[in-house]
């Protein structure tokens, strides 16, 4: 695991990643494949395979914000490589990164495990009522931040606005969803 590196994925190779995303993420958190391909073509999203000793163990999909921060859209380790420290190694390569995280749900231990994992890396939950935009009106989630840069109210809202305008521009009623978001 000392050889872990990120390798940029091209549009054609993304189809295999997308199949894995369909296995690992809820349908209401995924865009259609053609939308992903357009976002990758327009360089709004970047996709990298996490490779260890020439074997792809996982992937990360993110957007770079104008302020230099990153917006982590998806990170996943292939099932056969999970619980081996790869997620931690990948996230160690990212500073000043926003993370959309499912709300804690005692009936779904995976949500609690993910939150514990992000917190163990130093990610802090932002005091915001965040809604992940989708075409069913949005999905309440928590927004975390991993990194040393200080965030203020306007910086958080500017980052969300930038992501909504670029990454989520395909979502119907995106303005209505954005207006539901509030910092507490």
Q: For each of the domains in the chain, give its residue range(s) and CATH number, in order of start.
A: 5-183 (3.40.630.30)
Q: Say if residue 123's pLDDT is above 90.
A: yes
Q: Cα dihedral sign for 54, 56, 58, 59?
A: positive
Tell me the pLDDT tens digit for each residue of 14-59: 999 999 999 998 888 899 999 999 999 999 999 999 999 999 999 9
Tell me the pLDDT tens digit for each residue of 86-118: 999 999 888 899 999 999 999 988 889 989 999
Question: Residue 149: which pLDDT band, with cuts at 50, 70 and 90?
Answer: confident
Q: Say if residue 1's pLDDT is above 70.
A: no
DSSP 3-state of 121: coil
Residue 30 burial (C-beta neighbours within 10 Å; 0-12, 13-18, 19+): middle
Q: What is the mean pLDDT of residues 172-177?
A: 94
**What is the reported pTM?**
0.91
DSSP 3-state of 17: helix
Alpha helices in 25-144 (DSSP H): 33-41, 86-91, 109-120
Region of residue 110 (phi > 0: left; psi between -120 and 50: alpha; otherwise: beta): alpha
Q: Say if residue 126's pLDDT is above 90.
A: yes
- Residue 98 token pair: 């926003």
Residue 78: name the closest of 52, 102, 98 by CA.
52
Q: What is the mean pLDDT of residues 148-170?
A: 92
């Amino acid at each position: 695991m000392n050889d872990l590196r990120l390798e940029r994925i091209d549009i054609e190779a993304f189809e295999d990643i997308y199949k894995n995303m369909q296995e690992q993420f809820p349908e209401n958190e995924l865009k259609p494949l053609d939308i992903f391909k357009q976002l990758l073509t327009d360089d709004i999203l970047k996709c990298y395979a996490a490779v260890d000793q020439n074997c792809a163990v996982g992937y990360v999909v993110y957007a770079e914000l104008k302020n230099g921060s990153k917006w982590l859209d998806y990170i996943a380790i292939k099932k056969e490589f999970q619980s081996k420290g790869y997620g931690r190694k990948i996230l160690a390569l990212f500073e000043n990164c926003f993370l959309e995280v499912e709300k804690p749900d005692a009936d779904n231990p995976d949500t609690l495990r993910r939150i514990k994992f992000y917190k163990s890396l130093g990610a802090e939950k932002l005091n915001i009522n965040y809604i992940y935009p989708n075409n069913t009106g949005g999905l309440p989630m928590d927004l975390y931040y991993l990194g040393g840069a200080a965030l203020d109210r306007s910086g958080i809202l500017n980052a969300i606005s930038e992501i909504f305008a670029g990454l989520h521009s395909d979502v119907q009623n995106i303005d209505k969803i954005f207006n539901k978001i509030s910092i507490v």
